[in-house]
Structure 1
């Protein structure tokens, strides 16, 4: 069912519904801090440049993993493999960090950020810059390591998950 909204009618719900119309690869953004690993479901991952290799992710200012990422000075982008809906939901919020990392096999790569062994792709990054804007923080990372593996990916689309 289609809809439209303009001006003040663009509520958070209308915004997220419209963003959700675009299928995106579900990613988990992770870091390792003094209290252990932290991470969140990142649906706003994008590349910035291939030379030098740079990526960005956006996190809400209230994201619980954000202070860990800032203090650690690193983050990893883990593109979830096919069949990882449970993991996407765990990292989507509402669960404790220990519960999130109890699912899957995690190891470190270059920066010390946790990376998922079965990830379809990994970008391990040094935090280069954090840009605050409205209710979000844009994290820009210089890529220190990349890895691909696993067949297929988990996509987020229209509030749910699908395998590709």
Structure 2
């Protein structure tokens, strides 16, 4: 019988994960109290046929209630010029709740979840399944609408810092 190794500490986990550059996203839903969303780094495709995405949502994130109640979410891939959106959803602007959604910057696709008009890409999803692991809900959804801008540079998170574009300028 082999002993299971002890898990690593959270600091080591986050430092190591930070070595992976990731495009910044905002996950949104239309909640009962208005639009809700959070700055996310954990979104991934599951399969292309049927088109399926997953997002990880911490239980303390207020947007989780909107996702669960309305059974939808949108994954908005942020462009380099949307650092102000990342700041708003990352708690750096002083805005909270629905105040982070500037009406002129948002629209909807199929589900009614808010969609950033300037997003590089958007996946609009209906919730299929929720898996709970600790304080995290892994929400899996079928993509019912998608849009890709076709140009622009991404807003990227790398080693604890936000960079604009692929060059890091």
TM over 0.5: yes
Partner SS state of residue 84, structure 1: helix
Q: Aligned equivalents of 1:89 and 1:127: distance in 2?
A: 27
Distance 1:163 1:103, change over 3 A: farther
Paired residue for 2:139?
A: 139
Distance 1:128 1:93, change over 3 A: farther
Q: Aligned equivalents of 1:127 and 1:65: distance in 2?
A: 14
Distance 1:163 1:8, change over 3 A: same
Paired residue for 1:3?
A: none
Paired residue for 1:120?
A: 120
The alpha carbon displacement at 1:17 in A equals 2.1
Partner SS state of residue 153, structure 2: coil
Residue deviations 1:20-77 (CA, integer Å, cap 9, x gap): 1110010000000121000001101100000000010111111110011000110000
Structure 1: which 5+ runs fail to align?
A: 1-5
Structure 2: which 5+ runs fail to align?
A: none
Paired residue for 2:90?
A: 92
Paired residue for 2:75?
A: 77
Paired residue for 2:102?
A: 102
Residue pair 1:75, 1:124 contacting (<8 A) in 2 also: yes
The alpha carbon displacement at 1:134 in A equals 1.1
Paired residue for 2:159?
A: 158
Paired residue for 1:51?
A: 49
Distance 1:103 1:23, change over 3 A: farther
Q: Aligned equivalents of 1:159 and 1:52: distance in 2?
A: 34
Residue pair 2:31, 2:65 contacting (<8 A) in 1 also: no
Residue deviations 1:112-151 (CA, integer Å, cap 9, x gap): 0000000000000001111101121101010000101141
Q: Aligned equivalents of 1:9 and 1:129: distance in 2?
A: 28
Partner SS state of residue 83, structure 1: helix
Structural RMSD (CA): 1.8
**Total equivalences in the alignment:** 158
1:31-50, aligned counterparts within 5 Å? 31-50=29-48
Superposition TM-score, scaled by structure 1 size: 0.89
Q: Aligned equivalents of 2:32 and 2:134: distance in 1?
A: 28
Superposition TM-score, scaled by structure 2 size: 0.86
